[in-house]
Every structure is written in C-alpha cells, then in structure tokens.
C-alpha cells in the first residue's frame, strides 16, 4: 500500500484491518524503482495533491503522479490494484457527473491523475493486472490537517489555529464533500471487487454543498465565527461539481457519514481547539 501514512491512507489502513485485511506499507519514494513485498493486491494512494501548488510547479506533479505510478505498475504482475484518482478529471457540468462523463482536467494535478488513470487502465486491459480507479471528490473530516482544503480551513479558523480564510468568488460554488471514513469504506469495497484482467472506475462522493453552506455549518457546529476575506473568483473556476455514485452504490457502498454536519463535527472534534470562546461571532 502506498500513501499509508497520509490523511486518507490512515483511514484506509484502519478500515482494511476491520475487514480482515493486513495492509503492508510501501516505504520507498515513487520516483525510485519498486521492489514489492509479496502481496495479494495493491492500494495506490501516494501522490502530490495540492491543486493550486500544481499550477506554480507542475513538473514534480508529473514526476510523482505519472512516473511514480508507472514505476509501480512495472513491479506488478497478476495482482489487483486500487488507484486513487480525483473528481477533478471531469469537465465541469451542471448535472451530476457519472463515470462516463467527459474528462477535461482543470489543473496540472488533475491532468496527472487522468494520465495515471490511463496507464492503470491499459495495464489492466493487457491482462497484466486488475484495476479499480476511485475518483475521489472533496474528502473531508476526521482530523484532516491540510488547511488548504475548505472545510479544514474553516474549522481551523473557527478554532483560532489559523488567522482566517480566503474565499474566491461569492461563495456559491458547489463542491461534493465526502467523509474520509466513507472513502476508506469505498477502498475496501473496491479491493474486494477487483480481479486481474478487469478495469473499473467509480465515483466517490457524498454531499454537494456551497462554500457558504460550509461556513454556516461550521459556525453552527462550533458556535464560533469564521474570519473570511473575500477575493475575486479565479478565472475558469468550476462553479458546480456533484458526483453520481450509483455505480459504487450497486456494490453495496453508501456514504453513511457524509452529511455536512457530521463531516464538520468530526473535523471539529479531531482538531482539539483550545478552550475559550474563540473569535467573536
């Protein structure tokens, strides 16, 4: 398993163990040739994953996310692989996105994930491996520490551990938020339904909500205000993103913990804010 010590990886490790699997972390860099221990299957989570950073310096994203995936694939033979991709590979649409929706990555990060998806799919179609790609939408909750993400930043602002947050545009842009626990459950389902010679893709989403919805929910859950600086919208910003998860639901998966209130509440509890009233409302 790559990326086992990351935010999503830790949740996936716990969920795999609950279901009787024994994860074996890979402790080498993706840029190095892989020497795999004996494993029945591989979960590939490791990646460079900050969207805005990828615009500033895209080359390391290609090195890690594309070349690194290629290095991993070279080491695999006759094993199932579950690969973590992103909902950012899709062309923006006002309708819910299905796995058949057109791919049109809007960032270097998403472009590297789309390229890696293709590598994985072609390797599976050749019969070399089995592959399941999970397109994760906005993963949140459960102790995320990446304050570049909207829910994490808003909760940290309410806790007083960061000075505030910037919102680009009017706050009405909609994203699909999914609890990290539901993401972990999706990896278990995907792993248990993946076999050599097959290639499948599944969306992993939960609750569509606007940035203003997030801010209101954070204030309601925490009883504290969020200090917001409003900025002009980025050119080409995606206004609406929602996942159709019916394909994954057909395997028995459900986003059981992905209401906005539960995501925010779990993030707030995990953030362990200092006692006191915090910023005034």
Catalogue the active-site residues: 109
For the CA atoms of 102, 107, 112, 114, what is the dihedral angle to 10 degrees? -10
Give me the helix-helix angle, 108-125 and 68-75, nearest 10°: 20
Which residues pair with residue 243 across a beta bridge? 97
For 246, the 3-state DSSP assignment is helix
How far, in Å, are 118, 189, 215, 246 from residue 201 at the CA level? Answer: 11, 12, 32, 12
> What are residue 159's phi and psi, to 5 degrees?
-75, -15
Q: What does R_g of the chain's alpha carbons equal in angstroms?
A: 19
């Amino acid at each position: 398993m790559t990326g086992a010590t990351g935010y999503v990886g830790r949740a996936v490790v716990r969920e795999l163990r609950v279901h009787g699997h024994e994860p074996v972390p890979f402790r080498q860099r993706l840029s190095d040739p892989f020497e795999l221990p004996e494993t029945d299957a591989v979960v590939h989570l490791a990646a460079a994953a900050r969207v805005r950073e990828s615009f500033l310096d895209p080359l390391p994203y290609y090195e890690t996310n594309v070349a690194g995936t290629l290095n991993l694939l070279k080491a695999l033979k006759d094993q199932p692989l579950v690969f973590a991709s992103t909902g950012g590979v899709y062309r923006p649409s006002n309708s819910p996105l299905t796995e058949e929706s057109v791919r049109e990555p809007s960032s270097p990060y998403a472009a590297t994930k789309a390229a890696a998806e293709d590598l994985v799919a072609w390797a599976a179609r050749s019969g070399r491996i089995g592959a399941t790609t999970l397109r994760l939408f906005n993963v949140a909750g459960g102790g995320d520490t990446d304050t570049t993400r909207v829910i994490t930043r808003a909760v940290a602002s309410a806790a007083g551990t960061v000075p505030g947050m910037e919102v680009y545009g009017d706050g009405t842009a909609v994203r699909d938020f999914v609890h990290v626990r539901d993401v972990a459950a999706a990896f278990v389902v995907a792993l248990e339904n993946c076999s050599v010679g097959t290639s499948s893709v599944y969306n992993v989403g939960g609750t569509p909500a606007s940035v203003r919805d997030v801010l209101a929910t954070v204030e309601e859950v925490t009883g504290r205000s969020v200090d917001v600086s409003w900025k002009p919208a980025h050119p080409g910003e995606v206004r609406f993103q929602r996942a159709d998860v019916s394909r994954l639901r057909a395997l028995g998966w459900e986003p059981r913990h992905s209401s906005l209130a539960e995501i925010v509440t779990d993030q707030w509890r995990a953030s362990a804010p200092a006692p006191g009233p915090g910023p005034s409302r």
